Structure 1
Amino acid sequence: IEDIDSTVEKIKECCPNVTYLSLLGNPGYPDQLTDPISNDEADYDRYRLYVIHVLAGSLRFLDSRPVTSSERKDALARGKFLRTVRFSEEESQVTNQLEFDEIDTMMDLTYSPLPKSIRNPHDHK
């Protein structure tokens, strides 16, 4: 499963009373151990709060630990804003190239912070 968000939405539709859910080991899962470059602890926390928000009515256990009351409160307050947005590799490359081209256009590449004329050592006052 690569698209965790839509999967969780489908689980909500198909199994509205789910109490235990583990998405460990899926490619879309924000796992810091297997992919530390793309994921960090904050990614996992956002994922966890989003899933708890979507499955708020029934979920008691997510991945490897129980859902706490403080997580429920936090998910209720901000879970709807934590949906994961991922770009495809192709979209990412196109976006990066456009950004670099725009930067090159905006910047004057002939700029130099040095003075245009050369000073004589005797010019010092």
Structure 2
Amino acid sequence: MPRGRLKEGMSIPSLDDDVFASDKKKALDNAERVIEIKLNSISDFPNHPFKVKEDEEMLDLIESVARSGVVMPVIVRPVEDGSYQMVVGHRRKYASEKNGRTTVPALIRNLNDDEATIIMVDKPRSKRKC
């Protein structure tokens, strides 16, 4: 086949094709972003070490969510069946449910059990607000 000619049925990918996507575009496409996730699609993390209690601090959080919504997104990880598992934000989820909300802002991260556990126990537990 002569140089510069394409075989019949062949085409050259356009500049918009993923083959030529810039590293910056790829990074933006894969960047974490906050999305609203349905509360009923989020299950608790197995053996979560912290228990959600309806104490004075929780009542304050419930009131705060009623006023302002959830300000700090929860962190979830995807499950094979298309649902999510809570990593960080059990209290915000509970406060949202108590306010009749059906969704919560969330960051989705692909984490194995060890990574999820480290993030879960590493989060500061003082001055909890939404």
What TM-score, normalized by structure 2, do the two folds share?
0.20
- Kindly indicate which of the two structures has a greater share of residues assigned to strand: 2
Q: Which structure has the bigger radius of gyration?
A: 1
